[in-house]
Structure 1
């Protein structure tokens, strides 16, 4: 789920412009603009508000996707996805997320009635696939799953099965098959970049991270978001995804050259 058409250079161009003109899809533009506005409004209130805004962002992005899905143009012009509960092949890959998504999921797990066994599963996780939250071929954190999980809608389940059943399947998944639904990918990719944009523009470090190991790092640290807000290093270097967003250089504009792959 690391297959955004943006590389680090394109991400930097989007994040250092005053508009999302570097984005190529009106749907992605809409998600990007709305989400960065939501996060920007939360920032003066501090880290707790920024993390809480992730829930608002999820609701907005899901609403936008629902409105797109309901249009005659989509219904009549798009092949139906083969995705359904019980088909967990796409969960046989690692997932990228923004740090604020990780904090939001950690907060949710600590609060939810069924959180304790899920936290125990997470703590016992060491490496590998499928996702630690795939239980009985269903996502146990479906309501708060990362944006990258939300945008994957493949048309042919057989392609997913043949791809992810392989032992040598790419760690973060292959490029989408030729037949996938572009519109949900646009919605949730736009939301991902909108989550990070105002933080980067303010000089705050908001990298993409490897979701499960990053979540494991902070699950026992309710203070992690506030420590991150103070500029402390919260996530280990190996959990950072340097090809997502340009790293912030303290005291300098985010226009600094990216070290992305």
Structure 2
């Protein structure tokens, strides 16, 4: 599996990538730029270009948050407009699932475009699952999309097995900080034989997380910590943050649960979504049925 973990409260990818925090902790511990605030307020800096000089293709996607910010700010604004249309008024359960799917497709289109400008080889391959042992976070629409997928894609006995595994995993990790979870080597419950059981609808940050050196990931997992900055491409992480910023703004405008912008711990959230058949309908109606999964995300301990 390429990757299976999730960004936290979407801070701009760029400064510190530390394995022991997972993507969520990395984004949360970045110094300087609060993505959710600055992506829609910071004016792009004026660039000084010598007469006759040209701008290299893809230079705006250089692996620094400052250079990516104008593009990502525009991406967030475009996504908010798209998602408002997809969600509609009033918001229906099906519209929430459609919004999550649309966000995933938009990530794919945007990332394909960015890669076409400047290809950076990644080491992520099927069966490479080191990142699946990090803390996994997801937005509520992503949680419900995954729950819908496993309900329809798995046979009843397989679904029952997965639900049991989800509960056991949620119980194991509920008192662990992200760093402790890495040291405990607890995988995401969706991981099976090195593959993700929900790969077609895997969360955005799972799609964004990457490495150019699988051996470095294996070493950091084995040692229970380390710095991934030298082996990561920040561009997909920034794209994920931009898309999530737009989705969050649209959810907020639609009047969905007040804490909708806060991420959920994926295993705990899937337990809640799968145990209650009407969980999606209740959430769409304004009831924050995933609140316990948000409480499970605590990086200040």
TM-score computed with the length of structure 1 as normaliser: 0.77
2:207 aligns with 150
Give the number of equivalent residue pairs. Answer: 234
Query: Contact 1:7 / 1:243 at 8 angstroms: preserved in 2?
Result: no
Q: After the TM superposition, which residues 199-218 of structure 1 pair with which residues of structure 2 at under 5 Å, given as runs?
A: 199-204=251-256, 205=258, 206=260, 207-218=262-273
Query: Contact 1:109 / 1:119 at 8 angstroms: preserved in 2?
Result: no
| Distance in 2 between residues matched to 1:8 and 1:233, nearest whole Å | 31
For residues 191-222 of structure 1, what are the alpha-carbon distances to aligned partners after superposition, in whole Å with 9 as ceiling and x for unaligned? 22222112224443312111111111111323
1:188 aligns with 240
1:108 aligns with 149
For residues 112-155 of structure 1, what are the alpha-carbon distances to aligned partners after superposition, in whole Å with 9 as ceiling and x for unaligned? 24575145223333234211111121222111111111111111
Matched, 1:177 2:201: no
1:222 aligns with 277
| Distance in 1 between residues matched to 2:293 and 2:268, nearest whole Å | 9
Query: Contact 1:61 / 1:187 at 8 angstroms: preserved in 2?
Result: yes
Where does the alignment leave 5 or more consecutive residues of structure 1 unmatched? Answer: 245-259
Residues 12 and 113 (structure 1 numbering): CA distance in 2 closer, same or farther, change over 3 Å? closer
| Distance in 2 between residues matched to 1:92 and 1:135, nearest whole Å | 12
Query: Contact 2:265 / 2:294 at 8 angstroms: preserved in 1?
Result: yes
Residues 27 and 222 (structure 1 numbering): CA distance in 2 closer, same or farther, change over 3 Å? farther
Matched, 1:117 2:158: yes
Query: Contact 2:89 / 2:254 at 8 angstroms: preserved in 1?
Result: no
| Distance in 1 between residues matched to 2:32 and 2:267, nearest whole Å | 22
TM-score computed with the length of structure 2 as normaliser: 0.67
Where does the alignment leave 5 or more consecutive residues of structure 2 unmatched? Answer: 1-22, 45-64, 174-185
Shift of 1:14: 4.8
2:195 aligns with 138
| Distance in 1 between residues matched to 2:245 and 2:282, nearest whole Å | 22
1:247 aligns with none
Cα-Cα RMSD: 3.1
Shift of 1:186: 1.4
1:68 aligns with 114
Structure whose residues are more often helix by fraction: 2
- Which structure would you say has the larger Rg? 2
